[in-house]
Amino acid sequence: MHSTFHQEGYYIPMVMQLIRVRLSKSSLFVLCLVLALSFTGCKYRTDLKVSHSRVIKLQIITVDDSWKLRKGEGGVIAADVNDDGRRDFIITKYDNIAAYDNSGKNIWIKQIDIQVSTNSENNGLPGWLGAGVQASDVDADLRTEVLFLTKKNMLHIIDGATGETEKVILLQHPEGTERWEHLVVANFRGKGDRDLLLQTTNTDGYRMGKYLAAYAIEDLLGRENFSPLWTRDDFIPCAHNGARVADLNQDGKDEVLGGTIIGPDGNILMKIELKGHIDSIYVSDVRPDIPGLEVVALEEGGGNRIFLYNHERLIWTAHHEHREPQNAAIGNFMPESPGLEIWCRSRFDEHQKPFMFDSSGKLISAYEMDSVAPEGWTVKGVETIFTVDWTGKSKQLAAAKERHRSGDVAIFDPLSGEFLSRFNEKAGILYVADVSGDWREELIVLNANELRIYENQDSNPSSNHHRLWTIDHYRRSKMTWNYYSP
């Protein structure tokens, strides 16, 4: 139990509990009973029918619950806010942003009109569950800054460790837009995290984030009349989430990822021929035999195709009976097959029929969710599907929550659909990242006013593996995700 904190006039009760749960097949019943007794107050129980993860640690961080809740508005990211080498948590909601350290202690909390939204096509970016926040050392003083936009079109840069405001900058936004709506710390000049990408949507009609502007952060910090490095008003974005950036060609500078790939100097490098719009977009080294990273985009409408491409060419397109892929998980789900596999959830509102392609675009798996989901799982299937390094083995798995309800969370094998672990939850938000530091990833669940972190304590078969945070596109993806593109 932590003490209480006073900050900015708020009184914030903090509770942090650490519970170790040991589960084995033989003692499952006894331990469920123990768990049920331990959690009488919050009616908590966990079920694992699994050999993958017999030992789970659950950390519960109680977050400020005085916030106004607007479903889907705001999100969660992990970042080392206070520079102690451990990942902390930033939670955003309507009119609020708060940071909790790795142990669960509140670092700071602010009531401010942060730019978060629900569906971007009606309300602008960052879209459902988009956190609308970035964290990095953007001025090279070896301290992390936290950056976010407000509804009054201000860019706030605050000191991560203290929450003190370093700079508030009024931005100019393009004609026909309401304000800048999405921000991504980027490296466009090869100087590291010293640049900022801004994105926004057209105010009228179906809102699409076609407006981009890139700034050098030192210009924003130091000049009265700063001008952008470049701007564009013709970016082809994913329809439902903000732009992502990654160094596709590994030349030390970031590209901006969408239906168009924009180079670090603002020029269009590549454009895919969409008939519909992009529902979901990802970046990874899907094809290790091709230099650099590849982008996966899922099309809604047109041919309902999956596109694999990079900064210079289309590698392939594929479809499964022209069924809408809608959401995906990209990972090493079949280690014996070269490269990464692409799992697609399918559109069906009920009775989803997922399918999977190998890295050459060949269909390798298709099944019905109803035949693999455990008893009582919603017929609406899964959502917020993250690839997860849970076991420490080369085969990756996927984590997701029950769709369209604050429900359970599960880890499943995308190849077979087998549900390996199910966690009894009321998950409003699911997020996956390595926050424990053993390189494997944890499941981070926002359940009402509790942030619940599930960690696999089973033996780690590759304990010398590099930390995932050292991979630039992992770090950027984990700061820039939303519901459609975890």
- Of 285 and 299, nearer to Ca ion (C-beta) is 285
Whether omega for the bond prior to residue 414 falls within 30 degrees of 0, making it cis, is no
- Of 64 and 247, nearer to Ca ion (C-beta) is 247
Contact between 473 and Ca ion per CB under 5 A: no
* CB 103, CB 97: distance < 8 Å: no
- Residues contacting Ca ion: total by CB under 5 A: 17
In the list 65, 233, 234, 251, the residue contacting Ca ion (rule: CB under 5 A) is: 251
- Of 88 and 425, nearer to Ca ion (C-beta) is 88
Q: Which long-range contacts (CB under 8 A, 24 or more apart) does 231-236 make?
A: 231/174, 231/266, 232/262, 232/266, 233/174, 234/210, 234/260, 235/199, 235/209, 235/210, 235/211, 235/260, 235/262, 236/210, 236/260, 236/271, 236/274, 236/278
- Of 84 and 234, nearer to Ca ion (C-beta) is 84
Distance in angstroms (rounded) separating the CA atoms of residues 94 and 88: 20
Minimal distance, residue 438 CB to Ca ion, in Å: 16
- Of 117 and 387, nearer to Ca ion (C-beta) is 387
Q: At 479, phi and psi to the nearest 5? A: -95, -15
| Near Ca ion in 78-117, by CB under 5 A | 80, 82, 84, 86, 88
Contacts of 142 (CB under 8 A, 6+ apart): 83
* CB 248, CB 311: distance < 8 Å: yes
- Of 290 and 468, nearer to Ca ion (C-beta) is 290
Both tokens assigned to 176: 């026909």
Q: Which residue shows structure tokens 């971007």? A: 120
Minimal distance, residue 485 CB to Ca ion, in Å: 19
Contact between 472 and Ca ion per CB under 5 A: no
Contact between 332 and Ca ion per CB under 5 A: no
Contact between 137 and Ca ion per CB under 5 A: yes
Minimal distance, residue 137 CB to Ca ion, in Å: 4
* Range in contact with Ca ion (rule: CB under 5 A) among 236-244, 248-256, 330-338, 457-465: 248-256
Both tokens assigned to 472: 């630039």
Contact between 265 and Ca ion per CB under 5 A: no
349, burial (CB in 10 Å: exposed 0-12, middle 13-18, buried 19+)? exposed
Q: At 475, phi and psi to the nearest 5? A: -60, -45
DSSP run (H or E) holding 444: strand 442-447
- Of 86 and 323, nearer to Ca ion (C-beta) is 86
- Of 124 and 339, nearer to Ca ion (C-beta) is 339
CA distances from residue 448 to 75, 142, 227, 381, 430 in whole angstroms, order as listed: 12, 34, 42, 21, 12
Minimal distance, residue 288 CB to Ca ion, in Å: 6
- Of 139 and 370, nearer to Ca ion (C-beta) is 139
Instruction: Give the angle subtended at the CA of 84 by the CAs of 15 and 1, to the nearest 5°.
Output: 15
| Counts for the chain of helices (H) and strands (E), in that order | 5, 35
- Of 37 and 142, nearer to Ca ion (C-beta) is 142
In the list 169, 290, 372, 471, the residue contacting Ca ion (rule: CB under 5 A) is: 290
In the list 8, 65, 113, 141, the residue contacting Ca ion (rule: CB under 5 A) is: 141
In the list 285, 402, 442, 450, the residue contacting Ca ion (rule: CB under 5 A) is: 285
* Range in contact with Ca ion (rule: CB under 5 A) among 70-78, 140-148, 208-216, 340-348: 140-148
Minimal distance, residue 44 CB to Ca ion, in Å: 27
Q: How many CA atoms lie within 13 A of 146 on its CB side?
A: 32
- Of 290 and 364, nearer to Ca ion (C-beta) is 290
* Range in contact with Ca ion (rule: CB under 5 A) among 19-27, 39-47, 103-111, 288-296: 288-296
Contact between 189 and Ca ion per CB under 5 A: no
Q: At 190, phi and psi to the nearest 5? A: 80, 15
Distance in angstroms (rounded) separating the CA atoms of residues 283 and 307: 12
CA distances from residue 407 to 157, 365, 432, 447 in whole angstroms, order as listed: 35, 27, 16, 9
* Range in contact with Ca ion (rule: CB under 5 A) among 65-73, 210-218, 282-290, 466-474: 282-290
* Range in contact with Ca ion (rule: CB under 5 A) among 113-121, 204-212, 279-287, 320-328: 279-287
Contact between 349 and Ca ion per CB under 5 A: no
Neighbouring CB atoms inside 10 A of 469's CB total 18
**Residues contributing to the site for Ca ion (CB under 5 A):** 80, 82, 84, 86, 88, 137, 139, 141, 143, 145, 247, 249, 251, 253, 285, 287, 290
